[in-house]
Amino acid sequence: MSFFLLFCVVTAATCLLLACPVHTNQIEYCDKKASYQVTVKGVEINPNPIERGQPATFKISAITGGDINKGKLVIDVKYFGMHIHQETLDLCKETSCPVSTGDFRLSHQQTLPSFTPPGSYTLIMKILGEEDKQLTCFNFDFSIGFTEPDWILVY
C-alpha cells in the first residue's frame, strides 16, 4: 500500500471518528451496593470533547423497573474534584412522561460559556421520582477541549 493511500485511509477514518458522537461506558453508581429502580445502559456525548461556547448534547440510555410519572434530575458538576455547578431539571422536559417500565432515553442540551476552563469534569446525576425518592445516582467523566477563545486574535 502506498504512503498516499495509507494517509488517505487514516485521514478518512479520523474524520469519521471525530464527526460521530462518543459513547462513554465509564459510568459509576454513587452507591455500588444499592438496588436502583433506574439502571443506566450508556451515555452519549456529542461533541466529545465538548467545545466551549457550542451546544453539547448528553443522551442517557436507561431502563426503569417501574413507571415514573414525574420527577427531577439533580446534576452536580465537579472540575478536577471541586464542586462548581448544580442544577435541577424537570425530568419530563428531558424525556416523555410518564416513563413506562422498560427502556427510555434522557436528552439534555447545554451550551457552556466560552470562558469555561478546558480539562476534565465529572457529572453526577440523580434521578428523583415522586416525593423525591431517589431512583438512581451515577456519575461519568467528560472533557472540555482546549480551543482558542473567540477573543484571541491570530495574525
- Scanning 64-130, the segments in alpha helix (DSSP H) are 91-94
Which pTM was predicted?
A: 0.77
| 3-class SS of residue 57 | strand
pLDDT of residue 148: 53
pLDDT of residue 41: 96
> Scanning the structure block, which residue is given the C-alpha cell 461556547?
53
Q: 150 near 53, Cβ under 8 Å?
A: yes
Could you report the average pLDDT of every consecutive run of 10 residues in the chain (155 residues)? 34 35 71 96 94 94 97 96 95 96 96 90 96 97 74 48
| 115 phi/psi in degrees, rounded to 5 | -90, 5
Kind of pairing between the strands at 55-64 and 72-79: unpaired
